[in-house]
Amino acid sequence: MPLLHEQLTPVFDEVMNRNPGETEFHQAVREVLESLSPVVEQHPEYADAEIIRRLCEPERQIIFRVPWTDDSGRVQLNRGFRVEFNSALGPYKGGLRFHPSVYLGIVKFLGFEQIFKNSLTGLPIGGAKGGSDFDPKGRSEAEVMRFCQSFMLELYRHLGEYTDVPAGDIGVGGREIGYMFGQYKRITNRYESGTFTGKGLTWGGSRVRTEATGYGTVFFVDEMLRAAGDSFEGKRVIVSGSGNVAIYAIEKIHQLGGRVIACSDSGGYIVDEDGVDLSLVKEIKNDRRGRIEEYATVRTSARFVAGGSIWDVPSDIALPCATQNELDEPGATALIRSGCRIVAEGANMPTTPGAIRALREAGVSFAPGKAVNAGGVATSALEMQQNASRDSWTFEHTEERLAVIMSSIHDRCLETADRYGTPGDYVAGANIAGFIRVADAMLALGVI
């Protein structure tokens, strides 16, 4: 592990001691602190105001009981979370995740990442994250609705367009946002559209929000390629996952001339050398909520590998778009061996620290999720703008705004990396640029 700056070692030790057992949170904090040495050297004012220590402590953490009744009349119990991490730049903003792996450490890592990601967009949004250990898999529509309503019956009191604005994440899409917004509206008796993003297009949602994380990821990679005098044309690409981020990443890669040859879900991965048939993936995953395994039973050009590692498939570009720590050191070694040149994170923290180190030592260009996948939350901020002005933009206009935002995030990362003595280092560039905007706002707002 790279050493931390001597001023940052006690900060990290404090985070470990105050938040025992929250390994993903420790990992996310460490990754940021490792980038901040040159900032600590050049800006003593941040240490004087204890900016980094304050940034690592959430402003507010809410944990609550979510009881609900399943279809057979049995009472079920889940735990709900919202970590309102930092509001120096704007109202708390970040998604809700419904997945059995959710616990405080996951919500805090996601909330911490969100602060920097949201800062990088240049838009006025603070950082938060929330969710529940509820598992939507196998649940009926009615069960999902009852769960969402119970979840909102507590969370509503913490939300508001100027306070905290949730959106989706793993396990939370348009359907769940609808049920939660419906319950919020009912409890508050206010049609306050700006309290949620990722809404349906007929009731206040923004065009391109569904596609935004995947499209934005690919726009970012396109900028990486362009900076190296290259393009997507003819590239073999692996996209892990087959959820919302993966699906729209695949769509945009194909539009830009690349060929996605593999994608996955928790059961395994498919390889299709003819290029992944996206309409089939959408039908299986979106329409039927099925398993990716079914793809290979329909397409003769494809094979399904149960379990296994998608990173074994030879590629030029790999985009981990599933979940945290899905790309480990053996995965990175396989990518390096097959000649992969670019790894960019569509998911949040999908690459382990060991894998990042291996990729960088091998000269693979690596870009972190907080920059690469910021298009989702950036488009959420555009949704908030449309709600505030009671306006509705066209698909083309919104996509154009997204493309400009991604290109400016990319350039900001490279310029910042250059300025702080680590040219070409997207991790350092993203962490430092994200940090400085928040840190300066915190300085300006005083000790609060």
Q: Which residues are catalytic?
A: 129
Kindly state the number of chain residues that form the binding site for ligand GLU, as judged by CB under 6 A: 11
Q: What mask of x and - would describe binding to ligand GLU in positions 380 to 409, judged by CB under 6 A?
A: x-----------------------------
What is the number of the residue whose Cβ is closest to ligand GLU?
A: 95
Asked if 47 contacts 33 with a C-beta cutoff of 8 angstroms, the reply is: no
Please name the helix (run of DSSP H) or strand (run of DSSP E) that holds residue 318, with its range, or none.
strand 317-320
We find the least distance from the C-beta atom of residue 313 to ligand GLU, in angstroms, to be 26
Please name the helix (run of DSSP H) or strand (run of DSSP E) that holds residue 269, with its range, or none.
strand 268-272
DSSP state, residue 327: B
Binding region for ligand GLU (CB under 6 A) out of 87-95, 277-285, 389-397, 423-431: 87-95
344 binding ligand GLU? (CB under 6 A): no
Binding region for ligand GLU (CB under 6 A) out of 30-38, 44-52, 333-341, 375-383: 375-383
We find the least distance from the C-beta atom of residue 133 to ligand GLU, in angstroms, to be 17
Binding region for ligand GLU (CB under 6 A) out of 151-159, 255-263, 336-344, 376-384: 376-384
Cβ proximity to ligand GLU, 90 vs 376, nearer residue: 376
In angstroms, the CA 266 to CA 171 distance is: 13
Cβ proximity to ligand GLU, 270 vs 402, nearer residue: 402
The DSSP code sequence of 127-196 is EEEEEES---TT--HHHHHHHHHHHHHHHGGG-BTTTEEEE-BTTB-HHHHHHHHHHHHHHHT---GGG-
We find the least distance from the C-beta atom of residue 420 to ligand GLU, in angstroms, to be 25
Contacts of 320 (CB under 8 A, 6+ apart): 240, 241, 326, 327, 343, 345, 346, 347, 350, 351
Residue with tokens 């030790």: 13
Three-point CA angle 243, 215, 178, nearest 5°: 55
Cβ proximity to ligand GLU, 276 vs 377, nearer residue: 377
In angstroms, the CA 298 to CA 20 distance is: 47
Asked if 253 contacts 344 with a C-beta cutoff of 8 angstroms, the reply is: no
We find the least distance from the C-beta atom of residue 183 to ligand GLU, in angstroms, to be 19
Among 31, 169, 211, 326, binds ligand GLU (CB under 6 A): 169
Please name the helix (run of DSSP H) or strand (run of DSSP E) that holds residue 388, with its range, or none.
helix 375-388
Among 132, 195, 197, 398, binds ligand GLU (CB under 6 A): 197
Cβ proximity to ligand GLU, 94 vs 136, nearer residue: 94
Beta bridge partners of 64: 80
94 binding ligand GLU? (CB under 6 A): yes
Among 19, 78, 206, 348, binds ligand GLU (CB under 6 A): 348
Cβ proximity to ligand GLU, 95 vs 331, nearer residue: 95
Cβ proximity to ligand GLU, 169 vs 176, nearer residue: 169
315 binding ligand GLU? (CB under 6 A): no
Cβ proximity to ligand GLU, 94 vs 241, nearer residue: 94
Among 376, 387, 429, 435, binds ligand GLU (CB under 6 A): 376
SS3 category, 71 = coil
Q: How distant, in Å, are the alpha carbons of 56, 105, 209, 321 from that of 13?
A: 11, 16, 39, 31
We find the least distance from the C-beta atom of residue 408 to ligand GLU, in angstroms, to be 17
93 binding ligand GLU? (CB under 6 A): yes
Contacts of 86 (CB under 8 A, 6+ apart): 55, 58, 59, 92, 115, 126, 127, 438, 442
Greatest distance between any 2 Cα atoms in the chain:
64
167 binding ligand GLU? (CB under 6 A): yes
Quickly count: other Cβ atoms within 10 Å of residue 191's Cβ.
11
Residues 116-135 that bind ligand GLU (CB under 6 A): 117
- The residues of the shown chain that bind ligand GLU, judged by CB under 6 A, are 93-95, 117, 167, 169, 197, 348, 376-377, 380
